[in-house]
Amino acid sequence: MPVLSLDKAYSHEELSTWVRRTSDKLGHAPVFVVEEKLDGVSIVLYYEQGVLARAVTRGNGSMGNDVTGNVRTIRDVPLRLQDDVDIAVRGEILLPLVAFRRLNEDMETPYANPRNLAAGTLRRVKSRETAGVPLRFFAYEGFLTDVPAGRSVSTHRDMLLRLARLGFRVNPHMGLFSEQDVSNPFPDDAAQLPAFSQVQTGTLADLEDAIAQWTADRESREYEIDGLVVKLDDLSLRDELGYTGHHPRWAIAYKFESPVSVTKVRSIDVQVGRTGRITPVARVEPVGIGGTTVSNVTLHNQAYIEALELHVGDTVEVSRRGDVIPAVERVIEPNPEAHPYAFPTRCPTCDSVLEERGAHHFCPNFRCPDRMRGQLHFFVASAQMDIQHLGSETLNLLLAEGIVEEIPDLFCLDYERIAGLPGFGARKIELLKGSIEHATSRPYRTVLASLGIPDLGPKFVELVCDAGYRSIDDLLQLVDEGRVESLIAIDGIGEKTAARVAEELARPSVRSVIQRLREAGLQFSEEHAPEKAESVEAQIFAGESWCITGSFENFQPRSLAAEEIKSRGGTVVSDVSGKTTHLLAGANAGSKRDKAEKRGVEIVDEQEFLRRIAATDDV
């Protein structure tokens, strides 16, 4: 059946206008039902002879995704009903807030909200993974397809009661408002059902207060609601009013205010990063959100797009909560003509066949122009080779002019050509020459970690060097002889990383970059290990036990923060317990923060942490 959307009201006035007009159209004041607008994933469950046959998502409204296997694992969804009816049930799959906070804490790409995490969970390939997430289901509409069974159901109330008796969970928070007497909305035996314990009733004049009360109560719910839905109770009146192509005329959603804007997806592009990781980006019609204009919104990876059921041309809600990067909250109007987005199989820049690793796709070509651009920016940055007088703008100009393409080009620049470019006076050129020259004396460890080879970062370099592989030749030889196990044998290097680095170092494209840099005179070996004294940190965290939670700007992955603590004598634990002395809390810290507060554990934020470790650097 078509999965329609709802018409929307954004204020009390708009809502009461709708209530009045609807009554006018019908010629009398009917009974209105008010329900919570549950902010989850809309789903239709089809039962045949009382047995769950199919569970389908909204998709583009006429064709959704079959998620039956995964929905079967949700406890609230009955597999067999109390009665052998044919019925389609529409409702919402929700992830309670507590569970959302707990699960999101440890995710590589945290979800913007519980709805998206629930949607992502429903699209998992392995139902076992879905079963591990405590999803809930509330039923709010039923469509009986066999007439005799339908005859006893003439109102929404009857339907909810029927759904509850068939075995569904229905939302107990609801209201009935009318000029008719609705003070006893359910038959006596039904009023006992827990499902109907919270029902409010009143006249239309009471509606406004009830809505204000509901709005205030939303914070105390275990799940997110983003508004209220007002519907006609009488099903024959619903038939009388009918539908537009987009929504029923017998219902309207009253939306709570939220920091989101509505816009349209013009296209989905993919970007190629320094490590080759492919990031899809939604290009949206520019829209203001909280004071800034947003036109690009990251979509992270293929699974993220699939979870949103996003198509080009869809109308979407985009949020920008605080400092968080803009996120697509959800599709509010699917483009009915669009096909599901097909993730590219080849690199849009160099046409290499993409490789799938974990949740992401990668361009494997080290010399892909986009990767080289990213590598160049990374290489010159202050955290790596720290090449002065070569800021982003200058570098972009050199790239645009085709004067540099890849890292080694920096060491054989055509200064005569550069002299003709805007902004390059004689003095600037001298300074640039000087700082590039200076880079040839940077230590081997810095050079190697600056090349932007995936998984080959400063930590890895330190570990292999300290283990005795002190030159690039040592490393390349190890790779050529297929001795990956020697890398794995180094404490701190895992199997996956070792294999990945070996794979990268075996690529001819990587070899040629290294070769050219060698010829340019960069350091590719170290005489001896740096003086130990340099790397010994003051043991300021000695005797302390730190738990780390949330995400950080300066410590990605979080293990980097753990390293800082350990190198200063502290221990790192995975959860807050009686023995924990400190909680390092990053953005979006969840339940661990609450625990720490309860136990009186000292909570340290990223800024404070940086200050503490920097203080010792001066020692």
Judged by CB, which is closer to ligand IVH: 27, or 245?
Answer: 245
Segment contacting ligand IVH (CB under 6 A): 30-38, 65-73, 319-327, 396-404?
A: 30-38
End-to-end CA distance of the chain: 71
What is the footprint of ligand IVH within residues 147-166 (CB under 6 A)? none
DSSP 107-144: -SS--SSHHHHHHHHHT-S-HHHHHTS--EEEEEEEEE
Distance, CA of 348 to CA of 371 (rounded, Å): 12
Least gap, CB of 137 to ligand IVH (angstroms) = 12
Binding mask 71-100 for ligand IVH (x = CB under 6 A): -------------------x-x--------
Judged by CB, which is closer to ligand IVH: 76, or 141?
Answer: 141
The counts of H helices and E strands in the chain are 25, 21
Judged by CB, which is closer to ligand IVH: 196, or 379?
Answer: 196
**The pair of three-digit structure tokens given for residue 519, joined into one six-digit string:** 């010829």
DSSP 256-310: PP-SEEEEEEEEEEEEE-TT-BEEEEEEEEEEEETTEEEEEEE--SHHHHHHHT-
Q: Which of 15, 19, 31, 38 binds ligand IVH (CB under 6 A)?
A: 38
Radius of gyration for the alpha carbons in the chain, expressed in angstroms and rounded: 30
Distance, CA of 272 to CA of 277 (rounded, Å): 6
Judged by CB, which is closer to ligand IVH: 90, or 566?
Answer: 90
Q: Which residues are catalytic?
A: 37
Distance, CA of 610 to CA of 619 (rounded, Å): 15
Segment contacting ligand IVH (CB under 6 A): 33-41, 364-372, 486-494, 562-570?
A: 33-41
Distance, CA of 385 to CA of 338 (rounded, Å): 46
Segment contacting ligand IVH (CB under 6 A): 36-44, 115-123, 312-320, 348-356?
A: 36-44
Helix (H, G, I), strand (E, B) or coil at 42: strand
Using CB under 6 A as the binding rule, whether residue 329 contacts ligand IVH is answered as no
CA 40 to chain centroid: 15
Judged by CB, which is closer to ligand IVH: 37, or 123?
Answer: 37
- Establish how many alpha carbons lie within 13 A of residue 526's alpha carbon, considering only the half-sphere containing its beta carbon: 21
Segment contacting ligand IVH (CB under 6 A): 32-40, 48-56, 81-89, 442-450?
A: 32-40
Q: Which of 15, 32, 34, 35 binds ligand IVH (CB under 6 A)?
A: 35
Single-letter amino acid code for the residue at 449: A
Using CB under 6 A as the binding rule, whether residue 387 contacts ligand IVH is answered as no
**Nearest CA among 62, 41, 12 for reference residue 230:** 12
Q: Which residue is nearest to ligand IVH (CB)?
A: 42
Binding mask 206-235 for ligand IVH (x = CB under 6 A): -----------------------x------
Q: Which of 89, 95, 99, 253 binds ligand IVH (CB under 6 A)?
A: 253
Beta-strand pair 545-549/571-573: parallel
Q: Which of 19, 22, 31, 42 binds ligand IVH (CB under 6 A)?
A: 42
Least gap, CB of 250 to ligand IVH (angstroms) = 9
Q: Which of 4, 26, 235, 488 binds ligand IVH (CB under 6 A)?
A: 4
Segment contacting ligand IVH (CB under 6 A): 2-10, 424-432, 465-473, 502-510?
A: 2-10
Least gap, CB of 70 to ligand IVH (angstroms) = 18
Say if residues 99 and 134 touch (Cβ distance below 8 Å): yes
Give Cα separations from 535 to 92, 121, 321, 464 (angstroms).
55, 44, 39, 16
Least gap, CB of 226 to ligand IVH (angstroms) = 8
Q: Which of 14, 141, 333, 462 binds ligand IVH (CB under 6 A)?
A: 141
Q: Which of 140, 378, 552, 609 binds ligand IVH (CB under 6 A)?
A: 140
Helix (H, G, I), strand (E, B) or coil at 565: helix
Least gap, CB of 218 to ligand IVH (angstroms) = 13
Number of residues forming the site for ligand IVH (CB under 6 A): 15
Segment contacting ligand IVH (CB under 6 A): 31-39, 311-319, 474-482, 513-521?
A: 31-39
Segment contacting ligand IVH (CB under 6 A): 25-33, 35-43, 213-221, 256-264?
A: 35-43
**Nearest CA among 476, 481, 436, 469 for reference residue 453:** 476
Judged by CB, which is closer to ligand IVH: 330, or 568?
Answer: 330
Residue 319 makes CB contacts below 8 A (sequence gap 6+) with: 112, 113, 258, 259, 260, 289, 326, 327, 329
Using CB under 6 A as the binding rule, whether residue 5 contacts ligand IVH is answered as yes
Distance, CA of 295 to CA of 437 (rounded, Å): 40
**Nearest CA among 253, 180, 207, 186 for reference residue 26:** 180
Judged by CB, which is closer to ligand IVH: 224, or 409?
Answer: 224
Instruction: Identify the helix (H) or strand (E) that includes residue 68.
Output: helix 68-71
Q: Which of 30, 37, 115, 580 binds ligand IVH (CB under 6 A)?
A: 37
Judged by CB, which is closer to ligand IVH: 36, or 406?
Answer: 36
Helix 495-505 × helix 508-519 angle, to 10°: 70
Interaction site with ligand IVH (CB under 6 A): 4-6, 35, 37-38, 42, 90, 92, 140-141, 229, 248, 251, 253
